[in-house]
Amino acid sequence: MRKAITYLFILALLFASCRNESNKYLKLGKGTSEKWFEPTPYGMVYVPRGAYNLGPNDDQLYAITQNRTVSSEAFWIDDTEITNDEYRQFVYWVRDKKARELLGQTYTDFLITEDKYGAPLEEPKINWDERIEWDDPEYQMAMEELYVPEYERFGYKKEIDTRKLVYEYYWVDYKQAAKRSNAYNYETQRYEGSVVNSDGEVVPIENRSSFLMHESVPVYPDTLCWIRDFAYTYNEPFTIKYFSHVGFDDYPVVGVTWNQARAFCNWRNNLRDFAFSHSAEAPAHEYRLPTESEWEIAARGGMHNTMYPWGSYYTRNVSGCFVANFKPLRGNYVADSPTTTTTMKVGLFDPNPYGVYDMAGNVAEWTSTAFFEAGYEAIDDYNPEIQYNARPDDPAVMKRKVVRGGSWKDIAYFIQSGTRSFEYQDTAKSYIGFRCVRTSFRDDLGGGRSIQE
């Protein structure tokens, strides 16, 4: 009996090992052998997949566009707009990277030239662990290129030249890669199409790297937008302090262009998300700007045929208090908040049913969608989106991007969930910010899902 049990045990081991070996390359539809779980990203909330009515279906009397029924995949969205403190981390990272590159030319401690085994690296890497002594005169001399030139300084004050803070990154243009005319020809074993590169030039496709686009984006916000946007106002205090002072840390960042918002999303992808700090797993999808449909879906909070994100047809609650930061009455900006006349701290008003704050008012928000008046007629009804990467020499009409949510300076119409507007992608405004989204693998019930399941 014992021998029989022993033989059966050995056969079971052999069967298990054979089964594992046979599944090494082909999983027979059961997914990978390793489980992967998607936890809630830090600072984001979950929006389930589903069907929604997109557009001003709740106020047809004043509607200039028709509504559409669309379906969308689940996604994560930031629960608040990106704040000054969060965007400042991006600016500081670009500053520190530039500083370490300059210091590395004099001080080898700021560069890593060998791998962990002592072998020399083909290209040195930045050593982020080495501390920068910003007040050290010798360090300042090595970083002279990073400071405002002496002839441009105000009161002989040595300051970082924000014009030198440029973020460079690459992204794959899948739209051009997906064109049939740009497909790889297996008979000739080469590409026969052409692409529009980052400079707007039409060039033949040499290899798959031709679809890799290079972006070089100055990252510091346009603080002068507070003066430029309003000709006959005294907004110099906001220009000087709004982005840099700690008192405005929790206020939404403004003065960022559409291109700067996209650069922030790319930078955020390179950081290790707090939720994944316990493992080597990376998020399955990247951070990006929301599409117009995703933004409206998140704003409605799962409610249909409602005018505002809080599910009411009114901008006041039952106590008669305004429930968003916008321009109420006849320009009485303090009627909705006794503490501010412009932007206010994020998350002060109640969230919508999804847990998203400030989807109406405070600041309007960039989306990834190109703006066309007939956009709703052109989009698909599944994950709808119209993308167009405008080049520098394109006419202004091609640079329009959809802006949603209304702002502190807008009347109630513009903070409705179905109202769409636009701004030009290369402009920065004192009333436009943004938030990020990320496509989700979670199921409709909000629970985690592993790839194996």
Boundaries of every domain in the chain? 45-83+222-453
* Model confidence at 15: pLDDT above 80: no
Coil, strand or helix: which one is 160? strand
Question: What number is the average pLDDT over the span 119-142?
Answer: 91
CB-based contacts of 269-274 (< 8 A; 24+ apart in sequence)? 273/41, 273/42, 274/41, 274/42
Which of 10-24, 55-69, 91-105, 117-131 is predicted most confidently? 91-105
The per-residue pLDDT for range 142-175, each reduced to its tens digit, is 999 999 999 999 888 899 999 999 999 999 999 9
Q: What percent of the chain has pLDDT over 70?
A: 85
355 torsion bin: left (phi>0), alpha (psi -120 to 50), beta (else): left
Alpha-carbon gap, residue 386 to 371, rounded angstroms? 8
Integer Cα distance of 133 and 340 in angstroms? 38
Architecture of the domain delimited by 45-83+222-453: Alpha-Beta Complex (3.90)
Nearest CA to 99 out of 68, 130, 78 is that of: 130
Query: Which stretch, 11-20, 39-48, 336-345, has highest mean pLDDT?
Result: 39-48
- Give the pLDDT confidence of 177-190 residue by residue, as tens digits: 999 999 999 999 99
Q: How much is the average pLDDT of 18-32?
A: 50
- Say which DSSP state 79 is in: S
pLDDT tops 80 at residue 40 = yes
Residue type present at position 91: V
pLDDT, one tens digit per residue, over 264-275 is 999 999 875 434
**Element housing 91 (H / E):** helix 84-103
Q: Which amino acid is at 203?
A: V
Cβ atoms of residues 94 and 165 within 8 Å: yes
Containing H/E element for 76?
Answer: strand 75-78
Nearest to 221 by CA among 241, 198, 235, 199: 241
Model confidence at 17: pLDDT above 70: no
- Taking residue 388's Cβ as centre, other Cβ atoms within 10 Å add up to 16
pLDDT at position 446? 46
Tokens standing for residue 80? 């608040």
Q: Which of 125, 39, 78, 54 is nearest to 385 (CA)?
A: 54
Place of tokens 């779980």: 37
Report H helices in 233-345: 236-241, 258-269, 292-300
What pLDDT score was predicted for residue 221? 98
Q: Which residues contact 267 (CB under 8 A, 6 or more apart)?
A: 90, 93, 167, 169
Which bin fits 29, alpha (ψ -120 to 50), beta or left (φ > 0)?
Answer: left
pLDDT at 451 over 80: no
Q: Are strands 166-172 and 212-218 parallel, antiparallel or unpaired?
A: antiparallel
**Would you say 75 and 354 are in contact if contact means Cβ atoms under 8 Å apart?**
no
Compute the C-alpha angle 273/277/279, nearest 5°.
120
Tell me the C-alpha to C-alpha distance, in Å, between residue 296 and each of 77, 362, 377. Answer: 12, 16, 17
